[in-house]
Each structure stands twice: as structure tokens, then as C-alpha cells.
Amino acid sequence: MIQSTLSIIKPDGTQRNLIGKIVSRFEEEGFEIAAMEKRQLSLREVEGFYAEHKGRGFFEELTTYMSSGPVVVMVLRGENAIDRNRQIMGATNPKDAAEGTLRKLYAQDIGMNTVHGSDSPAAAEREIGYFFPKTAIF
């Protein structure tokens, strides 16, 4: 099934000039880049985006970090895109990430883990809508 999913290159990825490598990987994996924008997110925008994690011990660290520098938000489209993107990303903690995954290759620690990806169809729909109007997705 063709799906769309939200991907974010986090501040540690943009800071280390990894945008091209990560976007190339997605295209090589057969995804279309259906939308893409470099953005500086406000703390409030990040808090809304990660609302499901409110109350967790790492929430403040996560939201401060995600608003600390520019990110690249993208819509990836392709076969089974939601699960396949999660597989390409690898585990949340790079110590647990499989060989060849983006987080194994690039992530620094469980917080600065370089990429975000929607984890379910409902999350993908909400997260894509959070950043992109339908008219900005091609």
C-alpha cells in the first residue's frame, strides 16, 4: 500500500550537514520527497508536535533540543512508507540501532538521534497535517 509519512531531520543532522546524505538515502530506498522545508521550530510548536510525550521525564530535554536549531521537515511517499521509514531510521537509542540504519550511522545518543519518523497511520496523518497544508504536498 502506498503511504505517506512525516520525516524530520533533527537539529544535530542539519548542524552536521547531513541533509543531503539523509535525503539521498530516502530516494535510494524508493521514496518520493512529496514535501520538504527547512524550518526553525518554536518551543511551542515542538511541544504541540510531541504532545503524546508530555509528562515524560525527557519531555523538556526533547522540546528544548528540537527547538535549538533548524530542522528539515519532509513528507515521504512510497510503498509501506510508515514502517519502512522506521526500519531505515533504526531504534530510538543508536546503541540498539541495527547496522546500516540512519541512527546507527549518524545518531549521537538517544536524544540527538538525527531523525524522526511517524510510527503509525494515525500519527502520520496528524504529523503531516501539523506541518503541511494539502496544497504544499506534491
CB of 133 closer than 8 Å to CB of 124: no
Question: Grid coordinates in use for 30?
Answer: 524508493
User: Residue 58's binding partner, choosing from Mg ion, ligand ADP, none, with beta-carbon cut-off 5 to 8 A by kind?
Assistant: ligand ADP
By CB under 6 A, is residue 68 in contact with ligand ADP? no
**Helix %, strand %, coil % for the chain, to 5?**
45, 20, 35
Applying CB under 6 A, which of residues 19, 33, 36, 110 lies at the interface with ligand ADP? Answer: 110
3-class state of residue 47 by DSSP = helix
Of 24, 4, 5, 21, the residue nearest 116 (C-alpha): 5
Is position 116 annotated as part of the catalytic site?
yes
Q: How far is the CB of 119 from Mg ion (least distance, A)?
A: 5
Give the range of 1-9, 40-48, 94-102, 109-117 binding ligand ADP by CB under 6 A. Answer: 109-117
Which residues contribute to the site for ligand ADP (CB under 6 A)? 58, 61-62, 92, 110-111, 113, 116, 119
